[in-house]
Amino acid sequence: MSTRSRALGQGGYLALAIVCVAILIFPLYWTIVSSLKTQLQLFASHPSLIPTTPQWGIYASVFAQQWTHLVTSLIIAFGSLLLSLLIAVPAAYALAQFRSKAVPVFLLVLLIVQMIPGISLANALFIIFHKVGLLNNYLGLMLADTTYAVPFCALILRAFMMSIPKELIEAAMVDGTGDFGAFIRVVLPITKPALVTASLFSFLFTWSDFLFAITMTTSDKIQPVTLAIYQYIGNYGSNWNQLMAFAVIASVPAAVFLIFSQRYITAGISSTGLKG
C-alpha cells in the first residue's frame, strides 16, 4: 500500500471517529445549551445552537436548591463503593486462587445474577427492607446498589488476579506473611488498576441508579439526584432550563471521578479482558 493510500485511509478513519464522537457528545452539548436558555428561547420555533443571552446565574440558583441531594448521592455512592469492594475483593481473590469444581459454578451464578432484571430485585428487596426497617435510610440504598455492583466488581477483579504470578504469592508466604499478609502486601498493590476500574463502575452504577432509589424511598427524607431532578417536572409545566442545569451539575462528580481514574482504567480493562 502506498504512502498516499495509507494517509487517505487514516484520514477516513479519523473523519469517521470525529463524526461518531460528535454524535455521542451532541446530547451533552444540547443539555448545556438548553440550561443557558430562557423558557421562551427553549420553545422558539427556530432554536439556536448557541444561546444568545446565556443565563449563567441559573447554575448558582439550582446548586443552592439541590446541593443537599448531591451530598446524599455522594454518601450513598461512596458507601456502596466501599461495601462492594469489601465483598468483591476477597471473593475475587478466592475465586482466582482456589482450584475447585465449584468455582465455575459460582462464576456462572455471578453471570446469571448480572442478567436478572433490576425490577425483579427491587421488588424482592423492598419486601425484605420493609420488614427489617431499611427503607428511607442510607444503609438500605447502599445495600441495594451493592447487590448490583458486587457481581460485576468480583468478575473484573478475579480476571485481573488470575494474571498475578503464583510465584509472587508463594514467595510472600515463604517469607512468613501468611495468606492474609500475601493478600494485603502483594495482591492488593498489584491489583490497583483493577481496583480503580471496579470502583469507578460501582460509583457510576450507584450515581445513576433510579430504580432502587425510587423503590427504597417512600418519603422525601432521603432523595438522591436521580429523584430530585423530578422536582422540576410538574403536572402543568416543567422548568426545563433548571432541569437541564441540574442534569449538568449532577454529571460533574462522575466526570471528575472518571478524569482522575482514567489512567488506571485502560490497564484494568485490558488486563481483565485477556484473562478468564
- pLDDT at 275 (0 to 100): 44
Indicate the angle between helix axes 118-132 and 138-161, nearest 10 degrees.
130
Find all residues with CB under 8 Å of 4, minimum gap 6, and list them.
Answer: none
Question: 92 near 158, Cβ under 8 Å?
Answer: yes
Q: How confident is the model at residue 235 (pLDDT cuts 50, 70, 90)?
A: low
- pLDDT at 63 (0 to 100): 92
H or E element that contains 153:
helix 138-161
Q: Which amino acid, residue 221?
A: K
CA 179/CA 267 separation, integer angstroms:
26
- pLDDT at 249 (0 to 100): 93
**What average pLDDT is seen over the chain?**
84
Report, as an integer, the average pLDDT of 35-59.
83
How do residues 150-195 score in pLDDT, each as one tens digit?
Answer: 988 888 888 888 888 777 777 777 766 777 777 888 888 888 888 9
Report, as an integer, the average pLDDT of 234-263.
84
Q: How confident is the model at residue 38 (pLDDT cuts 50, 70, 90)?
A: confident
The Cβ of residue 77 has, within 10 Å, a number of other Cβ atoms equal to 26
Looking at 170-184, 203-217, 258-272, which range is the least confident one? 258-272
**pLDDT greater than 60 at residue 1:** no
The three-class DSSP label of residue 175 is coil
CA 71/CA 224 separation, integer angstroms:
8
CA 95/CA 91 separation, integer angstroms:
6
Report, as an integer, the average pLDDT of 40-48.
80
CA 226/CA 130 separation, integer angstroms:
22
Of residues 72 and 220, more confidence is placed in 72
Instruction: Say how many CA atoms lie within 13 Å of 198 toward its Cβ.
Output: 33
Of residues 50 and 81, more confidence is placed in 81
The Cβ of residue 274 has, within 10 Å, a number of other Cβ atoms equal to 11
What CATH class does 59-274 carry?
mainly alpha
Rg of the chain (C-alpha set): 23
**pLDDT greater than 60 at residue 274:** no
How do residues 85-103 score in pLDDT, each as one tens digit?
Answer: 999 999 888 888 877 777 8
- pLDDT at 46 (0 to 100): 80
How do residues 114-134 score in pLDDT, each as one tens digit?
Answer: 788 888 888 889 999 999 989
pLDDT above 90 as % of the chain:
26
- Which residues pair with residue 233 across a beta bridge? 238
- pLDDT at 69 (0 to 100): 93
Give the helix, strand, coil percentages of the chain, each rounded to 5.
80, 0, 20
- pLDDT at 237 (0 to 100): 63
Q: Global pTM?
A: 0.84
Q: How confident is the model at residue 144 (pLDDT cuts 50, 70, 90)?
A: very high
CA 28/CA 30 separation, integer angstroms:
5
Burial class (CB in 10 A: 0-12, 13-18, 19+), 50: exposed
Find all residues with CB under 8 Å of 24, minimum gap 6, and list them.
Answer: none
**pLDDT greater than 60 at residue 276:** no
- Which residues pair with residue 238 across a beta bridge? 233
Looking at 32-41, 167-176, 267-276, which range is the least confident one? 267-276
The three-class DSSP label of residue 268 is helix
CA 276/CA 274 separation, integer angstroms:
7
Indicate the angle between helix axes 192-207 and 57-97, nearest 10 degrees.
130
Report, as an integer, the average pLDDT of 10-16.
84
Report, as an integer, the average pLDDT of 194-213.
90
- The residue among 4, 57, 62 whose CA lies nearest residue 243 is 62
User: Domain ranges in the chain?
Assistant: 1-55, 59-274
